[in-house]
Amino acid sequence: MSHTDSHFNLRLPEGLKAKLTAAARENNRSTTAEAIARLEETFARQDIVEAKATRDALMVELSAVLQAGLSAAEDLDEVQSALQEAQKILDAKLAAPRPSEENEPRQ
């Protein structure tokens, strides 16, 4: 660490300080380096949890959008089918023989 790093006093309960010192020895680190590593790990885990929560919320939103899209597609299919049926009826009416104007009664 450079001399420009901010320093502060941190008071720890004796039991926690002993655990931190022992862990530092096991990991071949200074007590400060061990504390920093453990804090960074804690914050990294928190970031992962927050990212997962964000991902889950986005998945719920995406699911709703997809469901709405599927519903709209089904509605569109129904409209398209109705239009096709209407076109068939119109085609049949247009293909039907029309009475000639001569056979129509005059007024």
- Cβ-count burial 38-67 (b if 16+ within 10 Å, e if not): eeeeeeeeeeeeeeeeeeeeeeeeeeeeee
What is the count of structural domains for the chain?
1
Per residue in 50-104, pLDDT (tens digit) is 999 999 999 999 999 888 888 888 888 888 888 888 888 888 888 888 776 556 6
Query: Does residue 36 lie in a domain region?
Result: yes
Query: Does residue 1 lie in a domain region?
Result: no
The domain containing residue 66 runs over which residues? 14-95
Query: Does residue 101 lie in a domain region?
Result: no
Query: Does residue 80 lie in a domain region?
Result: yes
DSSP3 helix / strand / coil % (the chain, rounded to 5): 75, 0, 25
How much is the average pLDDT of 13-23? 95
